[in-house]
Chain A
């Protein structure tokens, strides 16, 4: 649809981008203001007498924020590795092999992706409690992987389907086994898809809140979203520190997203819009 783009159009785009970005810019500004100027008459001014990195330093020294980052990162990476390795096999089977019950399997995946996590929370909590998995990485990686699998399998199935069947047949003629074809021919070809799925799974794990809030309650095992939510002081909100923490967790993910945006958009929309 090649319509003419006039000044009105660019105004609309600018307004839209402005609204989307404004909260981040405001928080970035707040994180750089000296704490004194966050309140009172300077609360709404962009220009204040003193800008400082004080908030960034105090977020790491007054709170175990570095630990939260490490926890989130570790849980995210472990979830990513585990779900990608399970999903790679399953999505190949779905994309290429014929087996009885495939529709049923896909139906279960769809159902799990719609399942409200809270409906499984109490038994999972009691299980983690009784097995001593609370306040461990495994306590989060296990449920995260389970809920990441449906998405991961769908995304990767689309990527597997995009590879021409002829390649596989050629390998078969050359005498490669099923596993050989999978490992040596298909996996390298599908690696961009694998990578995209990995990023999406990682971002989802980085965001998760409910399980993290209930299963890992020890300060030293909390993840970033829970840690930030717990920043509220007894009487006041330390907005300077909260802003610094927000910027710190958002920037790496935003960079990751900007770097791989084409692939991520392709991955995210492949489920909803089939080519």
Chain B
């Protein structure tokens, strides 16, 4: 027995070594980013806004801007205090004192002082300040207190402006605001992206579009796929050729097939648009891609064309796994063709059918490239799926926080769908897929 145990141990170690690369890359490039997406969705992260283009857990000060703005502000305030007519100077000297107190408090931190000296050195030498030197974290409570202080100073200056006791009021006020901007607030927003999205209409509309697409496209694909599979499940001349032809839509990139259908649906030159028009099915050739109520149908038709043959292929493989002897037995028992179908084909094809159904549903729910290329989500967002909405939010609006929240919503929906399927089908059927 010990020998066997030792062998088992050795085998286990070898197995772990063999799956290790796969585990590592999946953990690093699929699972970790998934968690990270959720984390990013809790922040107000915008790539087009320099103060929010990274995740900030705490307050920090932009030392470069600080070194640039503070001396100018102090100088201007001092000059104003010198020039001021009687009565205004007390207010200005108070403001000056307060400003000095704020900068004093910031600079009492040795790390801040050191960084400031470093940045000043670079600025004096006219060399660029590298990104990693620009920001220095500041204690949250202190930052908030100093910001409040600066806001108070700004208010006082605005008061002095109203009194007309400042020579160049906008300059001091502007510089104070600029100094306030050197404080970078933490951009943690918690679940507020989710709250905003849920209270907006666009999320629900895009979810509705996605569900509509999923239900109708998948239903048609499974139905047509089954019919085609039953048709092909006979021996006839040229069967190999037909089976191969079925692979052609599968072998075409979705984006390319979307382009093909774009051409076929074109309002002026599209042959499918023309045929449907001639057949009296549509009143205007342009409506396939431009009328809100028709476009989703066009998208579904293109998806069915691309995927139904593939579904047929999967189901055909399932059909061919049914032993012929069962049909013969049914035949001998006097079962009609319909009875054979109901009592032999249906129960035995079920597992293959449900696995195909589940994977098609999940694929359809995350639809992106077909819609992106065919309609871009339009007209008027009538074909916008949640994935398209998420993509647009991230890469057109550069709002990564909200976009990540949307992509997490896609994930949660996919998770729910797969849980329903797994519960409904039983783990057994799903396990088949996993070998």
**Chain A interface residues toward B at CB < 8 A:** 1-3, 5, 9-10, 12-13, 16-17, 19-21, 23-24, 26-27, 30, 38-39, 43-44, 86-87, 89-90, 92-95, 97-100, 102, 105-110, 112, 114-127, 142-143, 145-147, 149, 153-154, 157-158, 161, 178, 203, 206-207, 209-210, 213-214, 224-226, 228-229, 231, 237, 239, 242-243, 246, 249-250, 253-254, 256-258, 261, 264-265, 268-269, 271-275
Contacts and interface: CB of A to CB of B under 8 A. Distances in A.
Contacts of B245: 17, 20-21
Nearest to B23: A105
Given A97-B11, A249-B256, A272-B355, A149 B407 contact: no
A217 to B, nearest CB: 9
A96 to B, nearest CB: 9
Interface string B219-237: 0000000001001111110
B33 A100 contact: no
A197 B418 CA distance: 25
B414 A114 contact: yes
Nearest to A206: B253
B411 A249 contact: no
Contact of A147 (B14, B30, B250, B274): B30
B373 to A, nearest CB: 5
B236 A13 contact: yes
A87 B274 CA distance: 48
A31 to B, nearest CB: 11
The 5 A-B pairs of least Cβ separation, nearest first, read: A269-B317, A225-B255, A123-B36, A120-B33, A99-B15
A142 B261 CA distance: 31
Interface in B240-271: 240, 242-264, 266, 268-269, 271
Given A9-B234, A116-B411, A44 B271 contact: yes
B260 A120 contact: no
B22 interface: yes
A63 to B, nearest CB: 14
Nearest to B393: A122
Contacts of A90: 18-19, 21-22
B427 to A, nearest CB: 10
B156 to A, nearest CB: 42
Nearest to A89: B18
Interface stretch (B64-72, B89-97, B159-167, B361-369): B361-369
Contacts of A271: 433, 435
Contact of A158 (B23, B249, B435): B435
Contact of A116 (B32, B366, B434): B366
Given A120-B29, A126-B400, 6 more contacts: A5-B234, A20-B245, A119-B411, A237-B266, A261-B243, A269-B314
B391 interface: yes
Contacts of A16: 228, 231, 242
Interface residues of B, number: 103
Nearest to B8: A98
A224 B235 contact: no
B324 interface: yes
Contact of B411 (A112, A115, A146): A115
Contact of A112 (B26, B232, B248, B305): B26
A242 B263 contact: yes
Given A118-B410, A269-B313, A97 B248 contact: no
22 contacts: A5-B236, A10-B236, A20-B248, A21-B248, A23-B264, A93-B14, A95-B435, A98-B15, A99-B15, A110-B430, A115-B30, A118-B366, A118-B407, A122-B36, A122-B40, A146-B26, A146-B30, A178-B10, A243-B263, A250-B251, A261-B240, A265-B313
A93 B251 contact: no
Given A123-B33, A273-B352, A209 B369 contact: yes
Nearest to B320: A273
Nearest to B344: A1
A32 to B, nearest CB: 14
Interface string B270-306: 0100100000000000000000000000000000010
B403 interface: yes
A256 B248 CA distance: 10
A136 to B, nearest CB: 15
Given A126-B400, A225-B254, A246-B260, A146 B25 contact: yes
B355 A23 contact: no
Given A5-B234, A207-B253, A253-B251, A20 B246 contact: yes
Interface string B347-377: 0000110011001001001101100110000
Contacts of B394: 121-122, 125, 214
A229 B259 contact: yes
A26 B259 contact: no
A9 B66 CA distance: 81
A225 B248 contact: no
A106 B435 contact: yes
Contacts of A207: 253-255
